[in-house]
Amino acid sequence: MHKTITSCLALAVTFTSATAFAQEFGDKGTLAISADRLFGIHLTQVNTEDNGDADATEIGLLWQGAGLTPYTLPRLNGDYFVIDHLSVGGSVAFYNVNGDFNGQAFGLGFEGNYFLFGPRVGGAWMFNDWAGIWPRGGLHYYSVGNGDGDHLWQLVFNAEAAFILSPWKNFAFTVGPAFDIGMAGKYVNDADPPQQPDDISYSVHAHSFGLLTVGVAGYFNL
């Protein structure tokens, strides 16, 4: 009897270890916390209704900032695999600044805020133990305000084709292109007179093509 119990326990431990070892990125129950768009190369464009257009090439080397659009800003995401290969998640972010600058002959106040809501779904497939692909997409919303009556909002279709490179267990790099297409948006300036006698409002469509975006991710099975 003692040998039988010992054998059963040994088999259970072996089976559990083998199951845990067999788990990989994208298996059901995997939670991934990722920092996306830490740096890369982006082609950005802003089209407005009656106020001109703008284009830019943004290149970040281990550092990425916001140029024409907030699309290039780094962001923290959480994604959970509800079944094998299928992830649901995204990010919610908020930023606010409020301060004063005093010059020699004048005083200026500045304040502003960014808000981002970015749900997404994705599918992940591993080619082997350390490499795979994780395409993701969703509808994102962001707004920008400067506290002085200027406000911009945008509804964006986002798609990313991230390759997963996992040189160590529970850690991976994400590398690949990203697309952000502005579907609808508006800029509104409702500053009070006499600085701005009339409200200004026009439609805005901002786009970005990330030729290369780089991020990192940590993942584990719940």
Q: How confident is the model over 184-203, as pLDDT tens digits?
A: 999 888 765 555 556 678 89
Rg (CA), the chain: 23
Tokens in use for 20?
Answer: 């845990």
d(CA 92, CA 86): 20
Where do the domains of the chain lie, and which CATH numbers do they carry? 26-221 (2.40.160.20)
pTM of the model: 0.81
| Encoded tokens for 101 | 């600058």
Q: Are 137 and 156 in contact (CB under 8 A)?
A: no
What is the Cα–Cα distance from 208 to 41, expressed in whole angstroms? 10
Evaluate whether 166 touches 144 at the Cβ level (below 8 Å): no
pLDDT at 134 over 50: yes
Euclidean distance between CA atoms 67 and 157, whole angstroms: 19
The pLDDT assigned to 109 comes to 53
pLDDT tens profile 82-97:
999 999 999 999 988 8
Q: What is the pLDDT of residue 9?
A: 37
Averaged pLDDT for residues 99-120: 72
